[in-house]
Amino acid sequence: MPSSRTILTAGLLAATLASVVYWLLTLRWLTRYFSGSVAAHGEEPTEMERSFDSATPGFAHPRSARDDRGWDHETARGVVILSGVPDGPRRAGTESKDFSVIPDGEPPPVTFFRPVKRGVPRLMEKLEMLVRAVLPGDQIVLGADAGSAEFAIAEQTRAAFPQIDIAVVACAPGAAANPKISKLIQMQSAARHGHWIVSDSETQLDRTFCDAFREEWKRCDVLTAGYRITGLKSWPQQLDAAAVLLALWPGLMAVNRGGGPRFTLGACTAFRAADLAQVGGWSAFADDLAEDHQIGAALARAGKRIVLSTHVVALESDLLTWRDYWRHQRRVAVTYRVSNAAGFAGMALVYGLPWSLLLALLHRSNPLAWAWFALVWLARLRIASAAARQLRFPIGRLPLVVFIASLVEAICAALSWIDRRVWWGGWRRVSRSGKLKPSVSSSPSPSA
Count of C-beta atoms within a 10 Å radius of residue 163 = 7
Predicted confidence at residue 23, as pLDDT, reads 94
Predicted confidence at residue 35, as pLDDT, reads 76
**DSSP secondary structure letters along 129-198:** HHHHHPPTT-EEEEEEETTSHHHHHHHHHHHH-TTSEEEEEEEPTTS-SSHHHHHHHHHGGG---SEEEE
Q: Are 428 and 440 in contact (CB under 8 A)?
A: yes
CATH number at residue 77: 3.90.550.10
The 3 state secondary structure assigned to 31-52 is: HHHCCCCHHHHCCCCCHHHHHH
Q: Are 115 and 266 in contact (CB under 8 A)?
A: no
Query: Is residue 167 domain-resident?
Result: yes
Phi first, then psi: give them for residue 423, nearest 5 degrees.
Answer: -100, 120
Domain count, the chain: 1
Predicted confidence at residue 426, as pLDDT, reads 83
Query: Is residue 336 domain-resident?
Result: yes
Phi first, then psi: give them for residue 403, nearest 5 degrees.
Answer: -65, -50
Query: Is residue 398 domain-resident?
Result: no
Q: Which residues pair with 171 in a beta bridge?
A: 145
Whole-angstrom distance, CA of residue 46 vs CA of residue 204: 9
Predicted confidence at residue 440, as pLDDT, reads 56
Query: Is residue 334 domain-resident?
Result: yes
Query: Is residue 438 domain-resident?
Result: no
Query: Is residue 348 domain-resident?
Result: no
Query: Is residue 435 domain-resident?
Result: no
Range of 160's domain? 4-86+99-341
Whole-angstrom distance, CA of residue 64 vs CA of residue 32: 10
Predicted confidence at residue 446, as pLDDT, reads 46
Count of C-beta atoms within a 10 Å radius of residue 363 = 16
Count of C-beta atoms within a 10 Å radius of residue 47 = 11
Predicted confidence at residue 66, as pLDDT, reads 34
Query: Is residue 448 domain-resident?
Result: no
pLDDT averaged over 10-residue windows placed end to end, the chain, 448 residues: 88 94 94 59 43 37 34 32 34 32 70 96 96 96 97 97 97 93 97 97 95 95 96 96 94 89 95 97 95 95 96 94 96 87 72 95 95 96 94 95 96 91 87 81 49
Whole-angstrom distance, CA of residue 82 vs CA of residue 190: 35
Predicted confidence at residue 216, as pLDDT, reads 95
The 3 state secondary structure assigned to 244-284 is: HHHHHHHHHHHHHHCCCCCCCCCCEEEEEHHHHHHCCCHHH
Whole-angstrom distance, CA of residue 414 vs CA of residue 351: 11
**pTM reported for the whole predicted model:** 0.82
Count of C-beta atoms within a 10 Å radius of residue 172 = 12
Predicted confidence at residue 87, as pLDDT, reads 36
